[in-house]
Amino acid sequence: MNSLIFLILLILSSPSQEEGELVILHQKVQVSGNTSLGKFNCDYIKEGSFDTLKVNNPKAGQALSFQIPIRSFSCGNFILNSDFRSTLKADQYPFAEVKVNNFRQKSGKIYCHLFLDLAGKRLEFPDFILEKRKEGLAGNLILDFATLGLSPPKKLGGLIKVEDQLDLQLLLGM
């Protein structure tokens, strides 16, 4: 009887996830969107950092956190750079902050808790998905301007408009 109870408990208990580590060598954030004239991409890359993150270890309490100077985003030319900075109110909010913690692996994907502080808005995504790629862990987030408390920019009296949707990609390079 005791062995039957033990066997049932063993079958019903969920298998524990294996703990592991991720070594992060660089971070990249890309913001992209569409305008009435075409696509735009604005990138920020932080090289030369070295972080080791624990996976499936809730006791680790470790987070990867980095501040991004809005003026460090590169959009390809000085006009787009200026428009991007103006749209994100870089004079008022000179830094964006990205923080990820609570890394857990399920079904071949890494889930984490993402905090994003951008243009004065603090957003939280408790189950942000990071997929393993050859260059590292990558995750995508779709935001609209209203979520950030911003208005999509317009130029030339509304002739050139930015669509309301922004795509944010986070890459943690390994």
Whether 6 is covered by a domain: the verdict is: no
- Distance, CA of 21 to CA of 2 (rounded, Å): 38
Residue pair 142/170 in contact by the 8 Å Cβ criterion? no
Whether 11 is covered by a domain: the verdict is: no
Q: What is the pLDDT along the chain (174 residues), one digit of tens a residue?
A: 444 333 333 333 344 456 777 778 888 999 999 988 889 999 999 887 767 777 777 665 667 888 999 999 999 889 889 989 999 999 999 999 999 988 888 887 889 999 999 999 999 999 999 998 888 899 999 999 999 999 888 877 767 788 989 999 999 887
- Distance, CA of 160 to CA of 20 (rounded, Å): 48
Whether 1 is covered by a domain: the verdict is: no
pTM of this prediction? 0.80
Whether 5 is covered by a domain: the verdict is: no
Q: Which neighbouring-strand residues pair with 45?
A: 28
Range of the domain at 80: 17-173
Whether 32 is covered by a domain: the verdict is: yes
- Write down the H helix ranges in 100-150: none
Whether 66 is covered by a domain: the verdict is: yes
Whether 7 is covered by a domain: the verdict is: no
In the DSSP assignment, the letter for residue 74 is B
| Other C-beta atoms lying within 10 Å of the C-beta of residue 70 | 22
Specify the 3-state DSSP secondary structure of 174: coil
**What CATH number is given to the structural domain containing 87?**
2.40.128.110
Total count of domains within the chain: 1
Whether 8 is covered by a domain: the verdict is: no
